A and B are shown apart, each in its own frame.
Chain A
Amino acid sequence: MSETLLEARDLVKHFPVRRSKDMVHAVDGVSLEVHRGETLGIVGESGCGKSTLGRLLVRLHDPTSGTVRFRGDDITKLSRRELRPYRREMQMIFQDPYASLNPRKRVGQIVSDPFQIHRAGSREETRRRVQELLEVVGLSPHHVNRYPHEFSGGQRQRIGVARALALSPQLIVADEPVSALDVSIQAQVINLLDDLQDDFQLTYVFIAHDLGVVHHVSDRIAVMYLGVVVEIGPSDPLFLHPIHPYTEALLSAIPPIEADDEARRERIVLRGEVPSPIDPPSGCRFHPRCRYATEICSVEEPVLADHGGGRFAACHHPLDAKGA
C-alpha cells in the first residue's frame, strides 16, 4: 500500500445539548488511515457523524480528544496561523451548497477567493483559471457575474466543487458533492474527480449516501453507525459480502430501479427506535436493531477486528465473508 497521507486516532467530538448537561456524541472514537491517491468512501445513517468526522479530518472542528496527522505531522493543536500551509493542501466540499456560499459575492469572486487568500497567481492568471474551473464543472463563462441565489441547487453544488479544486490541493474531503446533480452531470463531475486523481494523485474522502455512487468512486469504504466505524474495507468485497449486520441492512434498503430486471431483493427493515447519539446504547451500538443480536451484544462493545484482505468489522456475530 502507498504512503499514509492522513491518519485519525481515536477522534472524538461531543457537542453540548441546550438546556441540559447532556452531550451529543457525534463522533465517538474513530481511527482510520487514508492513503495517498486513494478514495475512501464514508457511508452511514443520517446524523451518524459523517460531516462532523469530515470536518475534524481537515480541522474545521477541534476534536474533543484524539489526533489527526497529515503527512505525519500532528495538526490537532496547530494555531490558525500554523495551519495555513496545510489549509491549502486540504480542502472541503461542503454538504450544504446554500449555506457555504456567501450570498453577497458573485460566483467569479467566490471561486477566485482562494487564489487571493493564498496569494497564488496574477490577476490575469486567476481570471483564466476561474473560467477553466467553471467550465470543467459544466457551468458557462457568463455565470461568473451571478450571485449564488441565481443558481439551481445542482449548479451551486458545482460552484463548491470548483472552489475546492482551485488551488490543486492534495486532499479533498467531499461531503455529498454530487447529491443534487442529475445522473448525467453527476457522471461528469465524478469522471472529473477521477481524472484529477489519476493526473495529480489526489486523495479523496468521499461522504455520500448514494451507495451506487460510493461504490463506483471508492477504493475503500468506511461504514459509520452512531459515531463509530463499524466496518471498513475494500469496496467490492464490502458490497458483495458485508460482514457487519448494519452494512447488510443498509445495502438491502437500496430501492431498485424499474428498468432493472433483477427481482426485488429482500429489504431488511430495521426494528426499533432510531438510537440516540445523546445516550448511545451499551455494548454494540447497533444491538437494539440487529436481527442477530444475542446477550453479549448488549454488554460488550465489539472492537474492529481483522477479517483478512484489509477488511475490519466490529461485531460479535460477523456475517460469513467467505465469498470474498
Chain B
Amino acid sequence: MPDALLEVCDLSVSFRTENGVVRAVDGLSLSLALGEVVGIVGESGSGKTVSMMAVMGLIRDPNAVIEGQVLLRGRDLMQLPRNEMRLVRGGEIAMIFQDPMTALTPVYTVGWQIAEQLRAHQAMTRKQARARVAELLAEVGISNPGRRLDDYPHQFSGGMRQRVMIAMALSCNPSILIADEPTTALDVTIQAQILELMKRLQRDHGSSILLITHDMGVVSDLAERVAVMYAGSVVEEGSKADVFRDPQHPYTWGLLGSIPRVGRPRVRRLAAIPGLPPSLIDPPEGCRFAPRCPHRFDRCSVRPELAPRVSANRLDACHLDPAIRPSLRHRSVA
C-alpha cells in the first residue's frame, strides 16, 4: 500500500517466563492510511495492547523479545534511538492507554500533569498552560474544571481518569492516535462526546486513528476498516460493513454471536465461544483457533495465512472454502 502512513510488518513480541515463552504477538501485520480509522477487535489477551505498546516503543519488560518492523512514513521506528522515539511519542503519535495510570502518576495533581505534557511540546507559560488545561478538561466533559484540576487522580472517578488521559493524548493534535479501549469506563452519553472529539481530530487535522475496542457499537460508529485479532495475529480484515454483515472467520462468527443487545428479547444465556483461550506458551500448531473451531478439518493443522480469499480487500486466515462459509455460519450462530 503506497499511501500507508503506518505499517506494522510481521511483528512478534514474546516474553520469557518461568513457565516458558509467551508468544503474545505472533506475526501481526497491519497498515493505517492517512486520515483512516481502523478498528481492532478481538479476544481478551490476544495481543492488542502488547502490539501497540511495541509500536510506541513502550515495552519495558526486560524479558521481552521484539521482532518485525514498524514503519512510520517509511521510517522504521524500531531502529530509532530512545530520545528520537520520545519526540515521536506525544508529538506525532499519541496513545490513549487502556490503563489510565500508565499515563498518570498518583503523586501529582491532574492539572499539573496535563500542563507538563503541554509544555513539553509547545512553548507556553504556566499560566497559559493552566488555562488551556481547564479548556481541555471541559472538552472531555469534566465539570468545574477550574476547581477540579488541583485534584489528584485518586479523587477522580474511573471514567474521569480515562477522560483526563484522553485530553492529554488529544492535546497536541497527533497525526496518529492509538486509542486502546478509550471508552470502557464511560457511559454512552459521554462516550458519544469523546467519539465526537476523535472524529474532529480526524476531520480537522487529517489524523489517522487505530482504535482498539471490544465495543462493537463504538467500532461501528468510528472505524472504516476492521481487523479481528485472535491469539497474537489478525485472523480477518475488511471494511466495517463487510466484517459485520458478512464475517468470514469462524472466530468472528462466535464473537459477533455473543453480543447482548438492547431492544431484543432477553435470552436466558449468552452465547460464548466454547473452550478456553489458547495457551500462548505452546500455541497449537496450525490454525490457532482450531481446538475451539466447530468446523475444523484436516487442512487446519497447517497455519492459514492472512490472505484475500473472498475479494481483494477482504483478508482472512481460514482454510474453509469461501463458498460453503455462509451456510456453516448460519448453522453455528442459529
Chain A interface residues toward B at CB < 8 A? 15, 17-20, 22, 43-47, 51-52, 95-96, 98-99, 135, 138, 140, 142, 145-146, 149-155, 176, 179-188, 190-191, 194, 209-213, 215-216, 236, 239, 249-251, 253-260, 262, 267, 269-270, 273-278
**CB within 8 Å of A: which of B174-218?**
181, 184-192, 195, 214-218
How many A-B residue contacts, CB cutoff 8 Å? 204
Tell me how far the C-beta of B196 lies from the nearest C-beta in chain A, rounded to whole angstroms: 10
Chain B interface residues toward A at CB < 8 A? 15, 17-20, 41-46, 48-50, 61, 98-99, 101, 109, 141-144, 147-148, 150-151, 155-160, 163, 181, 184-192, 195, 214-218, 220-221, 240-241, 244-245, 254-256, 258-263, 266-267, 269-273, 276-277, 279, 281
* CB <8 Å contact, B160 and A155: no
* CB <8 Å contact, B17 and A146: yes
DSSP class of B's interface residues: helix, strand, loop or mixed? loop
* CB <8 Å contact, B192 and A256: no
* CB <8 Å contact, A260 and B261: yes
In the complex, residue of chain B having the shortest beta-carbon distance to the beta carbon of A289:
B189
In the complex, residue of chain B having the shortest beta-carbon distance to the beta carbon of A236:
B266
Given A180-B214, A259-B256, A267-B192, 9 more A-B residue pairs with CB atoms under 8 Å apart are A47-B157, A145-B18, A153-B99, A185-B44, A185-B272, A209-B186, A254-B188, A255-B191, A276-B144
Whole-angstrom CA separation of A257 from B245 in the bound complex: 10
Residues of B within 8 Å of A140, CB to CB, are 276, 279
Tell me how far the C-beta of A318 lies from the nearest C-beta in chain B, rounded to whole angstroms: 20
* CB <8 Å contact, A176 and B261: no
Tell me how far the C-beta of A272 lies from the nearest C-beta in chain B, rounded to whole angstroms: 11
Known: A138-B277, A182-B42, A184-B258. A256 touches B217 (CB 8 A): yes
Tell me how far the C-beta of A268 lies from the nearest C-beta in chain B, rounded to whole angstroms: 9
* CB <8 Å contact, A191 and B188: no
Tell me how far the C-beta of A194 lies from the nearest C-beta in chain B, rounded to whole angstroms: 7
* CB <8 Å contact, B244 and A249: no
Q: Which 4 A-B pairs have the closest CB atoms?
A: A154-B44, A46-B159, A255-B217, A187-B270
Kindly identify which residue among A180, A191, A211, A260 contacts B184, using a CB–CB cutoff of 8 Å. A180
* CB <8 Å contact, A278 and B144: yes
Whole-angstrom CA separation of A194 from B270 in the bound complex: 10
* CB <8 Å contact, A145 and B256: no
Whole-angstrom CA separation of A51 from B187 in the bound complex: 13
Tell me how far the C-beta of A280 lies from the nearest C-beta in chain B, rounded to whole angstroms: 10
Kindly identify which residue among B46, B144, B189, B260 contacts A212, using a CB–CB cutoff of 8 Å. B260
* CB <8 Å contact, B192 and A51: no
